[in-house]
Amino acid sequence: MIKNDFFEDSDLLVRLSNEDEHAIRLLYERVFPKASAMVMANRGNLDQAKDIFQEAIIVLITKLREGGSSIQNPANYLYGICRILWINELKRVIKFRTSEMNELPSELMKVEENDDMDEIDLLSKVLIGLSELKEDCRNILELFFFKKLKSTEVAKILSLDDNYIRIKKMRCLQYLRNSIK
């Protein structure tokens, strides 16, 4: 254990870029518990959390070697990488294209704070919520928000009444919002 070791962030960054084992362990002790809790709270398991963390360490060290002078707090930066990697894994598993995820409509993404980490957390909840919806709801929301179709076009594609589609869309959005809360 190296709990008694203390590095200034600038010293820690230099040591990390040189793959110093003590620096990596220290960062592991600082960040892994929080990162693994985040992964497991969002449909992951401990093995996935370990994989994500290991990949995040590699990304951080690579970034430092490429001149990551903008990194102020390595622990926060590493945690952010873990969150982004886990979101990308959720996207892959749920089989949504990345370009579609970047276009989530504001109706689905009611962000109260303007914090990137909160947005990433909300995005993961939206992805999970979408995956848990019944297929008809998921299809309707995809047609409206990802394909940007009007209700008349959605009704035509699904061979349903336009008024029914409007009502169903609102119900599906409500189901999604409730699952995100």
Per-residue pLDDT of the chain (181 residues; tens, 9 = 90+): 334 355 677 788 888 888 889 988 999 999 999 999 988 888 789 999 999 999 999 888 888 888 766 777 888 889 888 988 888 887 777 654 444 555 555 544 444 334 445 566 677 677 777 777 888 888 898 888 778 889 999 999 999 999 999 999 999 989 888 887 7
Domain count, the chain: 1
Residue 167 in domain: no
Within-domain flag for 151: no
pTM for the model = 0.51
CATH of the domain at 84: 1.10.1740.10
Does 57 reside within a domain? yes
Helix or strand (DSSP H, E) at 120: helix 116-132
Instruction: Tell the burial category of 162 from Cβ atoms under 10 Å away from its Cβ (0-12, 13-18, 19+).
Output: middle
Q: What is the pLDDT of residues 140-152, one digit of tens each?
A: 988 887 788 899 9
